[in-house]
Chains A and B, each alone.
Chain A
């Protein structure tokens, strides 16, 4: 089941650093690599600014840690953890250029 795979990925602490948006800690930032979601949902997220290559910064959250607000492409968008866990980040070492964003 996909949900369990998800949870697994969510909890794993990879030496490469955070792998999904859900693993980003406040103060960190990540570059989006791809969206592991059905096409229409991925497209809607892309319209909100979650495009591959964009830098995403986690901000405040609702009490209890989710949904969390993410800063991306000049706006702030709140996502639940289950959605954030499907947004895969670029491995930290591979792409040092973070300044894709204005």
Chain B
């Protein structure tokens, strides 16, 4: 495990000697236990100058940023995963250790370390100082939450702690920005090479022995006159409400309903506005450019394709804003606690709840959010079922088909019409498919001895606007980049397929285009579902992204490609039998038609195996259920 650098024996490990970046950039790693305020500090130091990626070859998220210091010097900051120790049992700990020891390929060994600990829980958090200090890198020990410590009557002698540890100590409040200048001073010092480690007064303990490390931390704390603060009264009071046997679950349901309401109702005007904007700007581009191939490609291909993704941005922004508030305030841990028992019934756990809730907006951020689940199998199960949840990309086709084929009548009195009931039914179907799949997975290939559920309850805190803003900015950047690139490529490819081969220098009739040929080719396979070749083209194009099917129908039928286009509804009424229409809804409820999701599953599971299985399984379920629906509707079971 340890010193593999110099020994000749492990040639395999050292053979492709990681080429160090030529520029001698100063790299500083930030490390700390979960809930120590690590990300807050990282954001505070880097601001918008950061990017998210994965550490090479693993699924652990890597955040790298730049901190600007006096005199235009820049320092590269690497945010490491939150860990309690460096004993490499989880992937997070392995990565942290490899980065700190310079064994991670393509990640330069840090020149200095910022170790951030929660000053209100120092006894336990100081345990991490032992393995970090034993690395002998220039280290600043940052005691965060200084404001909490003093307001709750805790004390620490930072000067004495520094001499106990043999490393400089800074007492700060990352959320408020108090004391952050000390962190800059330290980085300035290390980048100038003037910081050196003093020998610690208190000898470091044997790292493998947790009780001994804890004892060491206690002794260091006593040496530094550490006085633990009184218990967080506000947290106890709030827990009395949020974890109340009756009020607690009610608040939980209200929060879930509130999130839902906001990402659908609240985002709607914004989404409609964006859609209009895309259409208007599309027309505008169309007017400016001369008629011809180029205009068609730019407007119908690129602009409408990319526009179909941008329209979802308000929802994604609101979703991340909500998750940010829930997480930063500390409520998310309570929600996971309340949801745990219910999730356990499906073989999952409380931490799967938020990713699944997010999947109602979009599976891509949901799958990224599964990173908080430590148990590998639980995480995989959550990733595999998330795309069954009714994401907002399904809504355009749902709206179109429901408007065209289901007559609006009162269903449950005046409260619920048939159209809304149909939509709710589709939501329920997706959820049902998800939990049945979860049960299947957890009782077969992902069967595991239930990994213990351990969840630390952080104290409640007021989320800061700064951190929420950064989070929303960061995630929407990732979303737009991933979804945008994939959809852009697919939109262009589809456009080319629909416009080639040229006949007499003109784009062919859709039936004679490559897209039409593909549609005709798959027609026999989809005929039993009640779909003809035109629907087939829509299905093929929707493999890129579900919402593109509406735009594709627009192209095929020469109509405006939106859900509320009456012309398109009438065209579909002629094209589809009621059986076919319901089968199409069912197919969309279950099939995994989303390149971005496939790409993110591949990334998060580290290979093609799981996305391939998932795609095959979901397509099979979709096909079978659509077939049953078509046959059932045709034979009049539902009339």
Contact = CB atoms under 8 A, between A and B. Distances in A.
Q: Say which size band chain B's interface belongs to.
A: 35 or more
B210 interface: yes
Interface stretch (B290-298, B300-308, B449-457): B449-457
Contact of B84 (A47, A61, A63): A47
Contact of A78 (B84, B210, B211, B457): B457
A78 B123 contact: no
Contacts of A52: 211
Contacts of B249: 63
Q: Say which size band chain A's interface belongs to.
A: 20 to 34
A75 B456 contact: yes
B124 A75 contact: yes
A69 B453 contact: no
A73 B87 contact: no
Interface string B566-609: 00000000000000000000000000000000000000000000
Contacts, number: 99
Given A60-B239, A74-B228, A77-B454, A46 B340 contact: no
B228 A77 contact: no
- Nearest 7 A/B pairs, CB to CB: A47-B84, A76-B457, A60-B243, A83-B452, A46-B210, A78-B455, A74-B121
A67 B350 contact: yes
Interface string A20-31: 000000000000
A46 B124 CA distance: 10
Given A41-B452, A59-B239, A75-B121, A102 B211 contact: no
Contact of A40 (B89, B120, B123, B338): B89
Given A48-B124, A67-B453, A80-B340, 11 more contacts: A44-B454, A45-B454, A46-B211, A62-B337, A63-B341, A67-B350, A69-B337, A74-B124, A75-B121, A76-B456, A83-B454
Nearest to B374: A44
Interface of B: 84-85, 87, 89, 120-121, 123-124, 127, 210-211, 214, 228, 239-240, 243, 245-246, 248-249, 333, 337-338, 340-341, 344, 350, 450-457
A49 interface: yes
Contacts of B337: 62, 67, 69, 78
Nearest to A59: B239
A47 B127 contact: yes
Contacts of B350: 67
A92 interface: no
A36 interface: no
